[in-house]
Amino acid sequence: MNSLNIPADSVGLVETRTFTFAHPPRELRLVSGKTLGPVTLSYETYGELNADCSNAILVLHALSGSAHAAGFNSPEDQYPGWWDYYIGPGKAFDTNKYFVISSNVVGGCTGSTGPASINPETGREYGLEFPIVTIQDMVNAQWHLVRHLGIRRLLAVTGGSMGGMQALQWAISYPEMVQSVIALASSSSLSAQGIAFNEVARQAIFRDPHFNGGNYYHGQKPDDGLSLARMIGHITYLSDKLMHERFGRRLKNQELPAFNFSSEFMVETYLHHQGIKFVNRFDANSYLYITKAIDYFDLKADYNGSLVSAFENVVSDFLIISFTSDWLYPSEQSVEIVKALRTNGKNVVYTEIESDFGHDTFLLDDERTQRNIHNFLRSEFEKAR
């Protein structure tokens, strides 16, 4: 550790930057038919772009992520970026070798244009006047960022969960720009059960007495609703076995039950902690919009019900990784993607990793996941040179 207590294999101190485009009258046209502009995306970069621009990797986050994927934004940061286990010198996304770009999404709340941004037409926050955005809209916005950075072709596009959805969409929307895709714990569409959990979470926000139709930015915010939404979502990220091993039926501070409605069980306390922590960093309206974008994502529907047709024109190589205990994006959904790609004669590496940590395994320090990514990227980089 150095004087700032930053590990030697960290990218160190990093700056979150922004890029603004789609100024009127050249607004970003959305899938819904509406337009949005100007649009700002927040992003970070790690490593150096090589002379022929052949080492660029685009990293895309899940529902509650941000552009801050690795390193520290200040010496006072207690925690590094959300994928710090994977991005850095000598890591799976080796910043001694690759130029890594981490982009936030349209609709987000950490520096990018979203419902908390000022609507230039009204001079106040968009709130629920913000247009519905889709995964495809997020990708189209990122295309402008990548081109702004002077990159014509990406060595890889990668992400887990919603980030994996974006990576798949990149290969379909911009096939000539994507050499390879690494999608972890992801799917070509969310299941009915997943949509149901998202809707219950959204209703928790809508029914908070402080939601005020989404116009809460100058008053009390719907913290209770957002906290409950996070608690609901967090249950889906873990596995039953992990919750049993970590919490079981253990009580928090006593041996016998108190016979009241206080949070006595350790699992209750854990969920309350996750909910409280979340409201300090996320916007309730962004939660509504991003979960809706996930719900709308359906590659089959975009291609007359055929996943094979969806992947017909992609030219990327693929690494698809799933985890055995992920019941939100189960392995069979990854296998469906693999089969559709192979039917089209595409080059696909598929790995199912044994894990008890549920959907969130892709965020954890898993040596097998890192090794698969490292080996796949090494092969792709050799092809690109």
Residue 3 to residue 20: CA distance in whole angstroms: 36
Angle at 384 between CA 379 and CA 385, to 5 degrees: 105
pLDDT in tens, 229-238: 999 999 999 9
Domains in the chain (CATH in brackets) are 17-189+300-384 (3.40.50.1820), 197-290 (1.10.1740.110)
Please indicate whether residue 189 or residue 254 has the higher confidence score (pLDDT): 189
* Residue type at position 265: F
Residue 166 near residue 60 (C-beta atoms within 8 A): yes
Residue 346 near residue 317 (C-beta atoms within 8 A): yes
Residue 291 to residue 359: CA distance in whole angstroms: 16
Please indicate whether residue 174 or residue 264 has the higher confidence score (pLDDT): 174
pLDDT in tens, 155-193: 999 999 999 999 999 999 999 999 999 999 999 999 999
Percent of the chain with pLDDT over 70: 99
Would you say residue 2 has pLDDT above 70? no
Would you say residue 350 has pLDDT above 70? yes
pLDDT in tens, 274-291: 999 999 999 999 999 999
pLDDT score recorded for residue 3: 46
pTM: predicted TM-score of the whole model, two decimal places: 0.96
Mean pLDDT of 289-300: 98
* Residue type at position 158: T
Would you say residue 8 has pLDDT above 90? no
Mean pLDDT of 221-246: 97
Cα–Cα distances (Å) from 71 to 88, 92, 101, 234, 373, in that order, read 8, 15, 13, 24, 19
Nearest to 14 by CA among 65, 85, 64, 87: 87
Residue 244 to residue 25: CA distance in whole angstroms: 55
Residue 297 to residue 169: CA distance in whole angstroms: 9
Residue 95 to residue 206: CA distance in whole angstroms: 42
Catalytically annotated residues:
161, 326, 359
Q: What is the mean pLDDT of the chain?
A: 96
pLDDT score recorded for residue 1: 39
Mean pLDDT of 240-265: 89
Would you say residue 332 has pLDDT above 50? yes
pLDDT in tens, 20-70: 999 999 999 999 999 999 999 999 999 999 999 999 999 999 999 999 999
Would you say residue 139 has pLDDT above 50? yes
Q: In which element (H, E) is residue 224 found? A: helix 223-237
Mean pLDDT of 58-87: 96
pLDDT grade, residue 4 (50/70/90)?
low
pLDDT score recorded for residue 252: 86
